């Protein structure tokens, strides 16, 4: 009726939100929504977080809800797992997931396996989160991608966001989930702004764990990635589009459970597959995707072998030029697509 009267009401425009602020919003909203939720980790409280993800939360919620811990991942991860076993909902921040190796017994043996080993009587609703994979100039011990490591383990859910909406929606879903969730963020994305829709600005916005998203429609080749490489795939798709090659870009979002149905549907349409990840090639996320496609119905639709684009099979070098050559770049994706298409 209003349109008939000449009143053209437009929907509220999307706003620009950084991944850092999206994570902060998600934590704030879930701390407010459920008094069982609390955050703990190194420097998360009085310092506002090493990456300012928890900025302002300690002042708002106090010492019992936002807790600074000593530099002891095994200790505070164990405290968090114990709290989750008695139905609190801890969010355990690792300053980098490389440091989660200090606590891997707690993450795998205590959190991931307890529900199965107790015949379902012990749930562990916990979120382990923090930056994962390569950053910039931090060398081998701070640059590893753990998607394949944690994605390997039954009992865990593993999510890996790219955009601000991914970050907010997946973190809120992870906190509300009754299972242990590992959330692998990218330090290099924290300051990157993305458009956030009106829907995503809602306090009830969640992204279902286990659902991939098609970021760009295409007909010639399927590109599958998670975290920061999704952006590289979109850049490569723009480059290739000028040459007449239309790439379908899938943002995996969840590593475990993997939305292989979305990948299969895309491969059936495009007949070609390229996977892209920052982790090492052997036993990687791309290797799993290729195996699942080979074992499933989409294999019969492939017109060429699938191609993997991965990080170099070396510990991360410190020197910038070597680091750049150890991480997938847009040119590497373009080359892989042309190889898959034989052009």
Mean pLDDT of the chain: 95
Which of 29, 73, 187, 323 is catalytic? The answer is 73
- Asked whether residue 7 carries a pLDDT value surpassing 50, the answer given is no
Which of 29, 30, 42, 142 is catalytic? The answer is 142
Provide CB contacts within 8 A for 119, sequence distance 6+: none
pLDDT at 14: 84
CA 126 distance to own-chain centroid: 16
pLDDT digits (tens, 9 = 90+) for 82-98: 999 999 999 999 999 99
pLDDT band of 134, cuts 50, 70, 90: very high
Provide CB contacts within 8 A for 5, sequence distance 6+: none
- Domains of the chain as residue ranges with CATH: 15-201 (3.40.50.970), 213-341 (3.40.50.920)
Residue 169: name the closest of 129, 201, 146 by CA. 201
Give this prediction's pTM: 0.94
Give the whole-number percent of the chain exceeding pLDDT 90: 96
DSSP-assigned beta bridge partners for residue 309: 276
Catalytic: 152? Answer: no
Catalytic: 323? Answer: no
CA 35 distance to own-chain centroid: 26
- Asked whether residue 137 carries a pLDDT value surpassing 70, the answer given is yes
Residue 209: name the closest of 252, 153, 261 by CA. 252
pLDDT at 12: 60
pLDDT digits (tens, 9 = 90+) for 194-240: 999 999 999 999 999 999 999 999 999 999 999 999 999 999 999 99
- 């760009």: which residue's tokens? 216
Mean predicted confidence (pLDDT) in 270-299: 98
pLDDT at 5: 46
């Amino acid at each position: 009726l209003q349109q008939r009267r000449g009143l053209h009401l437009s929907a509220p425009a999307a706003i620009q939100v950084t991944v850092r602020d999206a994570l902060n919003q998600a934590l704030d909203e879930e701390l407010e929504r459920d008094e069982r939720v609390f955050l703990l980790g190194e420097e998360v409280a009085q310092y506002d977080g090493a990456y300012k993800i928890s900025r302002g939360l300690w002042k708002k919620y106090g010492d019992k809800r936002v807790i600074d811990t000593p530099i002891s991942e095994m200790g505070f991860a164990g405290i968090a797992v114990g709290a989750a076993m008695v139905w609190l909902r801890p969010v355990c921040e690792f300053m980098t997931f490389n440091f989660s190796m200090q606590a891997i017994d707690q993450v795998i043996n205590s959190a991931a396996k307890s529900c199965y080993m107790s015949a379902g009587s012990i749930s562990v609703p916990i979120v382990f989160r923090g930056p994962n994979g390569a950053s910039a100039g931090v060398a081998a011990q701070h640059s590893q991608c753990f998607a394949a490591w944690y994605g390997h383990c039954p009992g865990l859910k593993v999510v890996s966001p790219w955009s601000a909406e991914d970050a907010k929606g997946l973190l809120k879903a992870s906190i509300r989930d009754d299972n242990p969730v590992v959330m692998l963020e990218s330090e290099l994305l924290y300051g990157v702004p993305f458009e956030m829709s009106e829907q995503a600005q809602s306090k009830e916005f969640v992204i279902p764990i286990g659902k991939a998203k098609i970021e760009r429609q295409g007909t010639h080749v399927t590109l599958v990635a998670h975290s920061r490489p999704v952006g590289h795939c979109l850049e490569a798709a723009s480059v290739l589009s000028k040459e007449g090659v239309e790439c379908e870009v899938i943002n995996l979002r969840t590593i475990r459970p993997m939305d292989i149905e979305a990948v299969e549907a895309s491969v059936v349409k495009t007949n070609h597959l390229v996977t892209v990840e920052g982790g090492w090639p052997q036993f990687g996320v791309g290797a799993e995707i290729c195996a699942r496609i080979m074992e499933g119905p989409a294999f019969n639709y492939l017109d060429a072998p699938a191609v993997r684009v991965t990080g170099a099979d070396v510990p991360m070098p410190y020197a910038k030029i070597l680091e750049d050559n150890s991480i997938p770049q847009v040119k590497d994706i373009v080359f892989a697509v042309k190889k898959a298409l034989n052009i």
